[in-house]
Amino acid sequence: MSNRKQVAQLAGVSEATVSRVMNGIGPIKESTRQKVLDAAKQLDYYPNDVARRFAKKQSGNIGVVLPFVPKVNLFSTFYFSEILSGIGEMLHESEYDLLLLFRDADGPKDYSRWFKTGKVDGLIILGSSDSQEERNALLQLADHHVPFCLVNQRYDEEKLSYVDGEHVSGSREMTAYLIQQGCRRIAFLNGPLAYSNSRDRLLGYRQALEEHGIEWNDQYLFYGNYSRKSGAQQAELILKLLPKLDAVYAANDRMAIGVMQTLKQAGIRPGHDLLVAGYDNSDASSVSDPPLTTVHVPFHLMGREAAKYLLRQFGCKEQPEIIQLKLDTKLIIRASTTKN
């Protein structure tokens, strides 16, 4: 592996000149530029990135934090893939690399160590969920004035940057739609309230009920953990309400699919005997049977926006700006609510 010194020697110029050529900055006589380029080509020289970043006191990395592996499947992998690919797309044009980081399974939460060791210049945090510890770790980061951004999770009371979806209105639209379809007794299978996602959807559900003068009924509220299995399990309980139920609305597609499985096993036809709806517009929602009415969430775009935000922070020297974006969601109507 050759280095700059060798190129400089071969080209008969100073190392500084080699740098100028490689970085395309500063005025250079075309003839020396060519000499350098030739020498570089001849020696197969590529500037060393680690050295460069060391000298610049920047890691050149954006870290993306994921839940530790086993937990990934709790969520749809769809959700993560989409966000990741959005981030990757945005970073692809930039000088920054994407470092994949895994939250520790146990042990104290500490995001700041990735900054302190200089591993990353910015952080995008996925799958964060509210707990005192998590909140502290995040606030600590904010104190350090390092750029970071949550995706698909908010802490409304805190001044933290996030890119989220419009889940309150998404959920409200979904519920209103079900009501329009003639449903008044709508079971809602929510996810853990530690996710702002879940709280948003619950709020949207309640708002829609209120707006349509439908009384709130505790019996219709269920909780799963966003896994298909939990959907299937909760559906056992939901089944017991059956004659007096018009629809089941689950807070994500995976649970909705679990619900449909249980229903079908019990001889209840989703979409006919009982309307079923999900949330996320995941791949699975379009291939399930029946296809699932759901809410599209722009995960890919959310990833892009989060990355764009960080990139912007690196540009300017001031205090990190705070962004709090909520991107539009969209109701997707499919057979699970229309076969009536």
Partner DNA sequence: GTGAAAGCGCTAACAC
Partner DNA sequence: GTGTTAGCGCTTTCAC
Q: Indicate the residue among 51 and 69 with the shorter CB distance to DNA.
A: 51
Give the whole-angstrom CA distance, residue 3 versus residue 317.
32
89 binds a copy of itself (CB under 8 A): yes
Q: Indicate the residue among 89 and 273 with the shorter CB distance to a copy of itself.
A: 89
51 binds DNA (CB under 7 A): yes
- Binder of a copy of itself out of 33, 53, 184, 229 (CB under 8 A): 53
Cα dihedral sign, 202-203-208-211:
positive
Binding to a copy of itself, residues 266-305 (CB under 8 A): 283-284, 287-289
119 binds DNA (CB under 7 A): no
Give the whole-angstrom CA distance, residue 307 versus residue 57.
20
Q: Indicate the residue among 6 and 324 with the shorter CB distance to DNA.
A: 6
Stretch that binds DNA, among 8-16, 217-225, 247-255, 297-305 (CB under 7 A): 8-16
Smallest distance from a copy of itself to CB 14, Å: 22
Alpha carbon 236 to chain centroid, angstroms: 31
Residue 254 phi/psi, 5-degree rounding, is -60, -45
- Total count of residues recorded for the chain: 340
154 binds DNA (CB under 7 A): no
Can you name the residues that pair with 190 across neighbouring β-strands?
223
Smallest distance from a copy of itself to CB 83, Å: 11
24 binds DNA (CB under 7 A): no
Cis peptide bond N-terminal to 320, omega within 30:
no
Which of the choices a copy of itself, DNA, none does residue 15 contact, using the CB cut-off of 5 to 8 A by kind?
DNA
As to burial, measured by CB atoms within 10 angstroms (0-12 exposed, 13-18 middle, 19+ buried), residue 133 is: exposed
Binding to DNA, residues 54-113 (CB under 7 A): 54-57
Determine how many CB atoms are found less than 10 A away from the CB of residue 100. 9
167 binds DNA (CB under 7 A): no
- Binder of a copy of itself out of 28, 37, 99, 323 (CB under 8 A): 99
32 binds DNA (CB under 7 A): yes
Helix axes 299-315, 77-92, angle to 10 degrees: 40
- Binder of DNA out of 34, 42, 48, 219 (CB under 7 A): 48
69 binds a copy of itself (CB under 8 A): yes
Which of the choices a copy of itself, DNA, none does residue 316 contact, using the CB cut-off of 5 to 8 A by kind?
none
- Binder of a copy of itself out of 25, 29, 30, 100 (CB under 8 A): 100
Stretch that binds DNA, among 9-17, 172-180, 211-219, 237-245 (CB under 7 A): 9-17
52 binds DNA (CB under 7 A): yes
Binding to a copy of itself, residues 118-157 (CB under 8 A): 118-119
Point out which residues bind a copy of itself (CB under 8 A): 1, 44, 46-51, 53-54, 59, 61, 64, 66, 68-69, 72, 77-78, 80-82, 84-85, 88-89, 92, 97-102, 113, 116-119, 228, 257, 261, 283-284, 287-289
